[in-house]
């Protein structure tokens, strides 16, 4: 089983890795034996997170704003300066926006689409040479895109650009998977349900609202770090090497068993 799920010596980049889902994934990859670079926009929070994650394994921090093509290129350049190849890319950095339909602003649309769809596409593009250098038929390189259950079902909240962006990244995952399969690079997505994160804090920090939301999850609870880490390690390891173009919903059954 260690060989099936182990990641000793592998290299991974996790965007949005300073907190929430990204930090959960980074921790899981480190615990499985990866060397990890985490990136985020806020340098101070990123440095603190990387220092704490280093207790699990080699973890470095690279500040980057992935909402712009220039930011994607800068991160790719820095990764290439440090490593000759890249085994695993986790496109997790994301943004959300909520507003009433009649008042939804252009800025709220563009910010979310730029971060959640354009960023993952162009970062993957800029890191392709490093992924190709790591890819082998028996051990593919991996791209893991973080989507959301809101990209699989219609949410109740008026987060129009967010749900559209997550549906978009799910389809982009399939398109890239088809194109990159011939190069021994798998592309899959994880669609989280409710987890403790800054994006969910407005609900989960209220005990009553938290309990109500947990009651709406078929499995009756909020996701824990190990739930997310386990899904990422599966997709990144030998265990998930024959899977591409798939979206793994990690939401306690939301959208499938409710």
* 242 flagged as catalytic: no
Hey, where are the domains in the chain? 2-193+224-249
DSSP 8-state class, residue 216: H
Please give the Cα distance from 149 to 132 (Å, whole number).
30
Is residue 29 packed enough to be buried (19+ CB in 10 Å), middle (13-18) or exposed (0-12)? buried
Q: What are the tens digits of pLDDT across the range 171-225?
A: 999 999 999 999 999 999 999 999 987 777 888 889 998 999 999 999 999 999 9
For residue 175, the surrounding DSSP H or E stretch is helix 160-180
- Provide the 10 A C-beta neighbour count for residue 109: 17
Assigned fold of 2-193+224-249: Rossmann fold (3.40.50)
pLDDT for residue 84 is more than 70: yes
Do residues 226 and 169 lie in contact, with contact meaning Cβ atoms separated by under 8 Å? no
Measured between alpha carbons, how far is 92 from 191 in angstroms, rounded to an integer?
Answer: 11
User: Is the torsion defined by CA of 101, 106, 107, 110 positive or negative?
Assistant: positive
Spell out where 68-227 has E strands.
88-91, 141-146, 185-192
Residue pair 27/256 in contact (Cβ under 8 Å)? The answer is no
- What predicted TM-score, i.e. pTM, was given to this entire model? 0.97
Percentage of the chain with pLDDT > 70? 100
Residue of 230 and 196 predicted with greater confidence: 230
What is the tens place of the pLDDT at every residue in 33-80? 999 999 999 999 999 999 999 999 999 999 999 999 999 999 999 999
d(CA 17, CA 77): 18
**SS3 label, residue 142:** strand
């Amino acid at each position: 089983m260690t060989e099936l799920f182990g990641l000793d010596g592998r290299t991974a980049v996790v965007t949005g890795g300073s907190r929430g889902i990204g930090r959960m994934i980074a921790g899981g990859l480190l615990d499985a034996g990866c060397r990890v670079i985490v990136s985020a926009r806020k340098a101070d929070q990123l440095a603190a997170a990387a220092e704490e994650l280093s207790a699990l394994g080699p973890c470095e921090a690279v500040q980057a704003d992935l909402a712009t093509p220039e930011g994607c290129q800068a991160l790719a350049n820095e990764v290439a300066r440090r490593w000759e190849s890249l085994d695993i890319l986790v496109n997790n950095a994301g943004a959300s926006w909520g507003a009433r339909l009649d008042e939804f602003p252009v800025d709220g649309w563009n910010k979310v689409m730029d971060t959640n769809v354009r960023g993952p596409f162009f970062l993957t593009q800029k890191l392709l040479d490093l992924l190709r250098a790591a890819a082998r038929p028996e051990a593919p390189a991996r791209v893991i895109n973080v989507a959301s259950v809101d990209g699989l079902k219609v949410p109740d909240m008026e987060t129009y650009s967010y749900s559209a962006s997550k549906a978009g990244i799910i389809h982009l995952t399939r398109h890239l998977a088809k194109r990159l399969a011939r190069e021994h690079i798998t592309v899959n997505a994880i669609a989280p349900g409710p987890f403790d994160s800054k994006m969910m804090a407005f609900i989960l920090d209220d005990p009553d609202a938290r309990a109500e939301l947990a009651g709406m999850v078929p499995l009756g609870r909020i996701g824990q770090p190990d739930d997310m880490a386990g899904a990422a390690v599966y997709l990144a390891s030998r265990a998930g090497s024959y899977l591409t173009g798939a979206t793994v919903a990690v939401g306690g059954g939301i959208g499938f068993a409710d």
